[in-house]
């Protein structure tokens, strides 16, 4: 039982707990890019033409859902294709109107696909993804008298796959979806060897990464290549998806080039070589949260905030001594350039950058003649994170092992999701109203669930490496000590906390949401990102596992 060896040593005042982090994978790879404006214009023009044609396909005629349900089903297939191909953002209004119309009529038109597991599961997933709480009771028709799923459906590959994806939209107490998950997972695994290569690829991918928990832009890039091989594909949709992907990629490349140069010119690492060098990854994370072209400023602010807070995190966790960190905590609470004098030499450029970057955001927002209240919320969020870093520093110095409750109260702040969500909102313009920022500050359940997932998954993955350097205690250690259990048992319990938090998120995504859905979706996207990056290890510290996605999103365009 390794929980017996959990007493923490006290931290000597002068020790620097160096992380020895792996270097950046990228060098100057993304630092030069010239936008081909002619090509961009050509793509944009074609997107506009295709967009109009697809809009016509989305119009719901008066009789559409009354025609025996056929058109309703067709529309749902179309909506799903647009979403999976990553172009639904071009039809947000049309899709919303369509679903609003279809949902109340679902009972009426769904009898036509009464026994069609694929179609029912598709409707269930898409309605719920849009916040319409379609009841899972409808799946009972596929169960026997004992409440078990009928074996007859196990050979329906598309139905099984569709139901499997639908189970990730579950809310609390929906036991039928727990059963559906186990049934479809086992069924798909055994079907896989007997499928054609395209179907086998789809099943393998779904078992590795469900749609609901995947990063939208990464999943879209993957799905375009799947859809291309689908015999029932719509050529118009495929072309729109490919061209729009390349068009948006050009804009992302330009932004990434700006970020890469900014990071290089800033040259902070020559003063503080101990920090993780992850500017490209941070841009990728921002794209995961909001990839749409109109959110360029949000990506910029979010990326720079991630880089900045990562520098602070490494300073607290992997370099600063107790006294130095105390000074830094005080200076951040003052938020005043005059406080720089009280800092040790290596901390001065960090502090200066923190305040300057923040000022830059303010200027950017004012230049767009937008709101000016939002940046203040970001400043407050930084101060709160730093106060909680300080609590960790105190615990470490004293060798104090906090309880699980104390750990979560502090670590749900230091995991930085509230700060990063605030940063994303700051860049999203007018939809981020003062009420939206106040909502964020009220610790809404969805944000708490997002932070819980990030914190717990981070603790599980990082306890392996951080224990080796007398680091701050992870939740795994707290749980083992508090409940007297082994490491695998503690991890098992923590994984249940994560699953539970995902269900909270599903519930919070149901209509009506307290603030604009477009904002709430960012919290979901943050959660998806954390789940993907920390799936098998600490993918931020060990960046190899994100490499293929970064190349697919910013280097390889799609052959047209």
Ligand X SMILES: CC(C)=CCC/C(C)=C/CC/C(C)=C/COP(=O)(O)OP(=O)(O)O
Going from the C-alpha of 275 to that of each of 147, 148, 250, 307, the distances in angstroms are: 54, 53, 30, 10
373, HSE (Cβ side, Cα atoms, 13 Å): 9
Which tokens hold the place of 438?
């106040």
Question: Which is nearer to ligand X, 244 or 277 (by Cβ)?
Answer: 277
Which one among 166, 224, 282, 515 touches ligand X, defined by CB under 6 A?
Answer: 282
Question: Which is nearer to ligand X, 85 or 279 (by Cβ)?
Answer: 279
Which one among 309, 381, 476, 553 touches ligand X, defined by CB under 6 A?
Answer: 309
44, HSE (Cβ side, Cα atoms, 13 Å): 10
Indicate the angle between helix axes 216-228 and 197-208, nearest 10 degrees. Answer: 170
Q: What is the dihedral of CA 513, 518, 519, 522, to 10 degrees?
A: 110
Burial class (CB in 10 A: 0-12, 13-18, 19+), 280: buried
What does the alpha-carbon distance between residue 177 and residue 170 come to, in Å, rounded to a whole number? 6
Part of the chain binding ligand X (CB under 6 A), chosen from 42-50, 228-236, 437-445, 525-533: 525-533
Min separation Cβ 533 and ligand X, Å: 4
Find the distance separating the first CA and the last CA of the chain, reported in whole Å: 58
Min separation Cβ 315 and ligand X, Å: 11
Min separation Cβ 398 and ligand X, Å: 18
What does the alpha-carbon distance between residue 121 and residue 522 come to, in Å, rounded to a whole number? 25
Yes or no: say if 405 and 475 are a contact pair by the CB < 8 Å rule. no
Which one among 303, 310, 329, 549 touches ligand X, defined by CB under 6 A?
Answer: 310
Per-residue interface string for the shown chain with ligand X, residues 98-117, x marking contact by CB under 6 A: --------------------
Min separation Cβ 276 and ligand X, Å: 7
Yes or no: say if 24 and 277 are a contact pair by the CB < 8 Å rule. yes
What does the alpha-carbon distance between residue 411 and residue 466 come to, in Å, rounded to a whole number? 15
What does the alpha-carbon distance between residue 30 and residue 47 come to, in Å, rounded to a whole number? 26
For residue 149, report the phi and psi dihedrals to the nearest 5 degrees: -65, 140
**Which residue is it, tokens 């052959």?**
559
Min separation Cβ 31 and ligand X, Å: 20
Part of the chain binding ligand X (CB under 6 A), chosen from 7-15, 148-156, 307-315, 482-490: 307-315
Question: Which is nearer to ligand X, 64 or 281 (by Cβ)?
Answer: 281
Indicate the angle between helix axes 445-466 and 404-414, nearest 10 degrees. Answer: 100
What does the alpha-carbon distance between residue 526 and residue 421 come to, in Å, rounded to a whole number? 8
Yes or no: say if 357 and 423 are a contact pair by the CB < 8 Å rule. no
| 533 counts as binding ligand X under rule CB under 6 A | yes
Which one among 65, 529, 550, 553 touches ligand X, defined by CB under 6 A?
Answer: 529
Site for ligand X in 316-355 (CB under 6 A): 317
**Which residue is it, tokens 């559906």?**
180
Question: Which is nearer to ligand X, 365 or 529 (by Cβ)?
Answer: 529
Which positions ≥6 away from 360 have C-beta within 8 Å? 304
Question: Which is nearer to ligand X, 180 or 533 (by Cβ)?
Answer: 533
* C-alpha dihedral sign at 450, 451, 456, 458: positive
| 313 counts as binding ligand X under rule CB under 6 A | yes
Question: Which is nearer to ligand X, 78 or 533 (by Cβ)?
Answer: 533
Min separation Cβ 92 and ligand X, Å: 26
Beta bridge partners of 149: 143
Part of the chain binding ligand X (CB under 6 A), chosen from 310-318, 445-453, 480-488, 513-521: 310-318
Burial class (CB in 10 A: 0-12, 13-18, 19+), 311: buried
Question: Which is nearer to ligand X, 306 or 325 (by Cβ)?
Answer: 306
Part of the chain binding ligand X (CB under 6 A), chosen from 195-203, 248-256, 306-314, 504-512: 306-314
**Which residue is it, tokens 């104390």?**
406
**Which residue is it, tokens 């003063």?**
271
Question: Which is nearer to ligand X, 134 or 490 (by Cβ)?
Answer: 490
Min separation Cβ 98 and ligand X, Å: 34
| 285 counts as binding ligand X under rule CB under 6 A | yes
Per-residue interface string for the shown chain with ligand X, residues 481-520, x marking contact by CB under 6 A: ----------------------------------------
Q: How many residues bind ligand X (CB under 6 A)?
A: 16
Per-residue interface string for the shown chain with ligand X, residues 390-419, x marking contact by CB under 6 A: ------------------------xxx---
365, HSE (Cβ side, Cα atoms, 13 Å): 24
In a 3-state reduction of DSSP, which class is residue 149?
Answer: strand
Per-residue interface string for the shown chain with ligand X, residues 439-468, x marking contact by CB under 6 A: -------------------x---x------
Min separation Cβ 200 and ligand X, Å: 30
Yes or no: say if 167 and 181 are a contact pair by the CB < 8 Å rule. yes
Min separation Cβ 306 and ligand X, Å: 4
In a 3-state reduction of DSSP, which class is residue 147?
Answer: coil
Per-residue interface string for the shown chain with ligand X, residues 239-278, x marking contact by CB under 6 A: ----------------------------------------
Question: Which is nearer to ligand X, 237 or 386 (by Cβ)?
Answer: 386
Question: Which is nearer to ligand X, 129 or 458 (by Cβ)?
Answer: 458
Part of the chain binding ligand X (CB under 6 A), chosen from 55-63, 254-262, 302-310, 328-336: 302-310
Yes or no: say if 539 and 545 are a contact pair by the CB < 8 Å rule. yes
> Which positions touch ligand X (CB under 6 A)?
282, 285, 306, 309-310, 313, 317, 414-416, 458, 462, 529-530, 533, 540
């Amino acid at each position: 039982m390794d929980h017996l060896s959990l007493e923490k040593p006290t931290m000597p005042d002068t020790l620097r707990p160096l992380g020895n982090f792996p270097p950046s994978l990228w060098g100057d790879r993304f630092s030069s890019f010239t936008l081909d404006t002619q090509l961009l214009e050509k793509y944009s023009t074609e997107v506009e033409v295709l967009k109009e044609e697809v809009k016509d396909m989305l119009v719901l005629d008066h009789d559409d859902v009354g025609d025996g349900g056929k058109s309703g089903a067709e529309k749902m297939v179309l909506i799903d294709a647009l979403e999976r191909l990553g172009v639904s953002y071009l039809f947000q209004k049309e899709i919303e109107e369509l679903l609003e119309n279809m949902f109340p009529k679902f009972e009426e038109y769904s009898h036509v696909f009464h026994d069609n597991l694929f179609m029912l599961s598709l409707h269930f997933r898409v309605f719920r993804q849009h916040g319409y709480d379609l009841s899972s009771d409808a799946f009972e028709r596929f169960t026997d008298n004992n409440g078990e799923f009928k074996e007859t459906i196990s050979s329906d590959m598309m139905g099984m796959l569709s139901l499997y994806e639908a189970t990730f939209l579950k809310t609390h107490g929906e036991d039928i979806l727990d059963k559906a998950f186990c049934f479809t997972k086992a069924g798909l695994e055994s079907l896989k060897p007997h499928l054609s290569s395209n179907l086998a690829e789809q099943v393998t991918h779904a078992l590795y990464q469900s749609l609901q928990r995947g990063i939208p832009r990464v999943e879209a890039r993957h799905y375009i290549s799947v859809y291309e091989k689908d015999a029932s594909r719509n050529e118009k949709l495929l072309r729109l998806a490919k061209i729009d992907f390349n068009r948006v990629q050009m804009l992302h490349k330009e932004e990434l080039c700006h970020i890469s140069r900014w990071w290089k010119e800033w040259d902070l690492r020559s003063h503080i070589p101990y920090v993780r060098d992850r500017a490209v990854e941070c841009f990728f994370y921002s794209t995961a949260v909001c990839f749409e072209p109109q959110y360029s400023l949000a990506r910029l602010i979010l990326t720079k905030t991630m880089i900045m807070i990562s520098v602070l995190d490494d300073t607290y966790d992997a370099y600063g001594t107790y006294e130095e960190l105390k000074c830094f905590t005080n200076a951040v609470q003052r938020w005043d350039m005059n406080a720089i004098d009280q800092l040790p030499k290596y901390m001065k450029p960090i502090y200066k950058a923190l305040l300057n970057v923040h000022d830059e955001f303010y200027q950017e927002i004012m230049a767009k003649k937008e709101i000016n209240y939002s940046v203040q919320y970001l400043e407050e969020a930084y101060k709160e994170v730093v106060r909680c870093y300080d609590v960790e520093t105190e615990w470490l110095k004293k060798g104090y092992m906090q309880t699980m409750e104390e750990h979560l109260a502090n670590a749900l702040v230091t995991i930085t999701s509230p700060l990063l969500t605030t940063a994303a909102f700051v860049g999203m313009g007018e939809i981020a109203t003062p009420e939206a920022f106040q909502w964020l500050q009220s610790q809404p359940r969805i944000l708490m669930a997002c932070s819980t997932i990030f914190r717990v998954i981070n603790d599980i993955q990082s306890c392996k490496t951080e224990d080796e350097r007398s680091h701050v205690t992870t939740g795994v250690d707290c749980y083992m000590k508090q409940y007297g259990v082994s490491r695998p048992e503690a991890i098992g319990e923590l994984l249940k906390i994560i699953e539970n938090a995902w269900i909270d998120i599903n519930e919070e995504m149901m209509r009506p949401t307290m603030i604009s859905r477009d904002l709430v979706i960012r919290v979901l996207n943050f959660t998806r990102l954390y789940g993907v990056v920390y799936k098998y290890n600490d993918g931020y510290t060990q960046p190899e596992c994100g490499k293929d996605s970064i190349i697919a999103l910013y280097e390889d365009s799609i052959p047209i």
